[in-house]
Chains A and B, each alone.
Chain A
Amino acid sequence: MHFSEDDLRSALRRKDPGASFTERVIARCRQAEGKASAPRRLKTPPFRQPWWPLNLRAAVAATLVLLLAVGGWLAVARYRQVHEKEAGERARQQAILAMRIAKAKLNHVLVKASQTRDDKIRGERL
């Protein structure tokens, strides 16, 4: 196949690429850059991701809240248990004291009444 000089001149002649050539080139370059950089981003470790610190903080905060809630609940339960035990022991001692006094005074009155009755009977006999 032979090309004449005119053919070559015509083929190598400068052609106008059009007004949007620059934009098309820039767009193509960006597309190419995007494709090239996508796999690289996947290789970034999770702790280097922009969202990583936020997620870690949320996890720590949630754990702390949970620990505080459980700890608080346990403390309240323990306080109630101790408080009820103290109140119960106090009530028990009060009941024992009350029954002791009631018993002593009941028997005291009964003994005195019995003595008075015996004295009367003795007096009548004499």
Chain B
Amino acid sequence: MKTTNRSLRWPSIVLGGLLFCLLPVSGFAQHARLSLNNLERLNSKAAEVNDVTLEGEMLQLASKFMEIDHDPEAAQIKEIIKNLKGIYVKNFEFDQPDQYSPADVAEIRAQLAAPGWSKIVENRSKRNGENNEIYLMKEGDKVAGVTILVAGPKELTVVNIVGPIDLDKLSALEGKFGIPNSGEWPKNKPSGEAPHKKN
């Protein structure tokens, strides 16, 4: 029996070592992608839910169909999304405050504490009970991903964009494409506030 155990030990050690070496390589491509599954349970509590998952072929198809539309703004979106690997958005709006727990946000933040992510903007308001954060992941000089986290009393939004994205272009997008621009937010970002230029 001992001989059998010994003969099995070495291959399993080698295999384990190989898997250990390969894990970071395979995970690197999707490193900037967050797991947002823990927020699924908020679907039933929220008054309004916007859940977008676009990756792979669907993202390419979206880019292709932006081409068909001759709207110049559609061309802007196409330009932004053409090199992206994935867009993941979870936006919950609640009728009552405190419908999500701090643990829900903590789980997202824990992922953003991983190596590679850096917090570039943070805004906490006790008056409004809002916590807003922007995280950036860089690979060398290139942006590999962005996460925008907006946690208000009646709102929780996580925007996770995987791939090289130009935040200036995103911020300067016009609210057309058949969807009216939200009156709540200004159309253009404040001057000189490009987050990736700040740090």
Contact = CB atoms under 8 A, between A and B. Distances in A.
Contacts of B125: 112, 116
Given A99-B81, A113-B123, A113-B132, A105 B148 contact: yes
Interface in A88-109: 88-89, 91-92, 94-109
Nearest to B73: A96
Quick one: which of A87, A100, A112 has the most chain B CB within 10 A?
A100
Given A87-B61, A109-B133, A109-B148, A94 B52 contact: yes
A106 B182 contact: no
A111 interface: yes
A95 B134 contact: no
Quick one: which of A84, A89, A99 has the most chain B CB within 10 A?
A99
A116 to B, nearest CB: 6
A101 B157 contact: yes
Contact of B132 (A95, A97, A104, A112): A112
A109 B89 contact: no
Main DSSP-derived SS at the B contact region = mixed
B170 interface: yes
Interface stretch (B7-15, B110-118, B183-191): B183-191
Contacts of B69: 92
A84 B64 CA distance: 11
Nearest to A115: B123
B54 A100 contact: no
A91 B175 contact: no
Q: Chain B contact residues (Cβ within 8 angstroms of A): what range?
A: 35 or more
Interface string B157-183: 101010000010011010101110110
A103 B170 CA distance: 6
B66 interface: yes
Nearest to B173: A103
Contact of B121 (A88, A92, A94, A110): A110
A92 B62 contact: yes
18 contacts: A91-B58, A91-B59, A92-B66, A94-B58, A95-B62, A97-B89, A100-B179, A101-B157, A102-B87, A105-B150, A107-B185, A107-B189, A109-B121, A110-B171, A111-B185, A113-B123, A114-B193, A116-B125
Interface of B: 50, 52, 54, 58-59, 61-66, 68-69, 77, 80-81, 87, 89, 91, 121-123, 125, 130, 132-134, 148, 150, 157, 159, 161, 167, 170-171, 173, 175, 177-179, 181-182, 184-186, 188-190, 193, 195
Given A99-B173, A101-B89, A111-B185, 19 more contacts: A92-B62, A95-B52, A95-B77, A95-B81, A97-B179, A98-B159, A99-B77, A100-B177, A101-B52, A101-B157, A102-B87, A102-B161, A104-B185, A105-B150, A106-B171, A107-B188, A109-B133, A109-B148, A116-B125
Interface of A: 84, 87-89, 91-92, 94-114, 116
